[in-house]
Amino acid sequence: MEFIKTIWKNKKLIMQLGKNDFKNRFANTSLGAIWGFLQPFVFMIMYVIVFQFIFKQTGPEGVPYVVWFMPGMAMWMCINDGIMGASGSIRAYSYLVKKVVFPVDVIPLISLFANSFVAIFLFVVATIVCIAFGCIPNILLALYSIFAAYCFLLAFTRFSSAITTVVPDFSNLLGIVMQLCFWATPIVWDISMLAEHHTITKILQCMPFTYLVTSFRNAFMGGNIVTQENGIYTIIFWIITIVMFIWGNYIFKKNKKDFADVL
């Protein structure tokens, strides 16, 4: 509860520094913040061109690949950018850590807020594309998926930001792990391909990344992993998220006193 109170107390500070963070990333370029939206957009479009028009892939039940792919990729890019950005945020804002009066706990949230501008843009693009192909989204499920994603990011980066600050090499390890998780998560491939491997399928479906990508995709494709099989995957997801937050909160508090010394 103390952490939640700190967030609420400093919400205006988080939003203002988050806006400045996003603007400053492209301050020395002619197009400015447009690059922040253009780069991930082109990245997603290239995947669509390669898989739908070159490899001629289709989504499950013959739906256009772009409709199946874009919601999943938008969610993954939100998660990946959030984790990688927030995990290194305390080192990036080292000058704030050394100010005794600054609430260090909120620094990872500054990065999450800055990354949310691009994430929201990608969610909107995915929604527009899906509607253009006749797939009307389930708004409540889409909003739930985004809410769940940020709860998970908050929990995960509470731990990862503390470890990255104390052990800089952890950032490189985390980058490798996220690359592995990208290919282990059904983003560019359909999990039904592993239908004959029941154990592997169940393990992958229990992964938070799979849950978030699938739940947001379900908002456009039908189906609902949130309530599937009596909601077991939802229960597993929230247990993992809550346990991760409690553990991460403990790690963060334990190491916070050492942040200024290692920076």
Per-residue pLDDT of 102-113, as tens digits, reads 788 889 999 999
Q: Is residue 215 over pLDDT 70?
A: yes
Q: Report the DSSP beta bridge partners of residue 58.
A: 64
Is there a domain that residue 206 lies in? yes
Q: What is the pTM of this model?
A: 0.91
The Cα–Cα gap between 187 and 184 comes to 9
CA-CA-CA-CA torsion sign (19, 25, 27, 29): negative
pLDDT, residue 93, reads 85
CA distance readout (Å), 12 to 83, 96, 109, 147? 22, 16, 12, 20
The Cα–Cα gap between 69 and 130 comes to 10
Task: Give the count of beta carbons closer than 10 Å to the beta carbon of residue 157.
Answer: 27
Is there a domain that residue 222 lies in? yes
Is there a domain that residue 167 lies in? yes
Is there a domain that residue 75 lies in? yes
Give the percent of the chain with pLDDT over 70.
97
Is there a domain that residue 3 lies in? no
Q: What is the mean pLDDT of the chain?
A: 88
The Cα–Cα gap between 218 and 137 comes to 9
Q: Report the DSSP beta bridge partners of residue 158.
A: none
> Residue 58 in 3-state DSSP?
strand
Is there a domain that residue 1 lies in? no
Domain that holds residue 208: 10-23+31-262
Is there a domain that residue 157 lies in? yes
CA-CA-CA-CA torsion sign (139, 142, 146, 148): positive
Q: Is residue 210 over pLDDT 90?
A: yes
Average pLDDT for 213-236: 86
Provide the number of structural domains found in the chain.
1
What's the DSSP call for residue 148? H
- Contact predicate 125/38, CB 8 Å: no
Task: Give the count of beta carbons closer than 10 Å to the beta carbon of residue 5.
Answer: 9
pLDDT, residue 100, reads 63
Residue 63: phi, psi to the nearest 5?
Answer: -70, 155
pLDDT digits (tens, 9 = 90+) for 59-78: 777 788 888 999 999 999 99
Is there a domain that residue 2 lies in? no
Average pLDDT for 197-211: 90
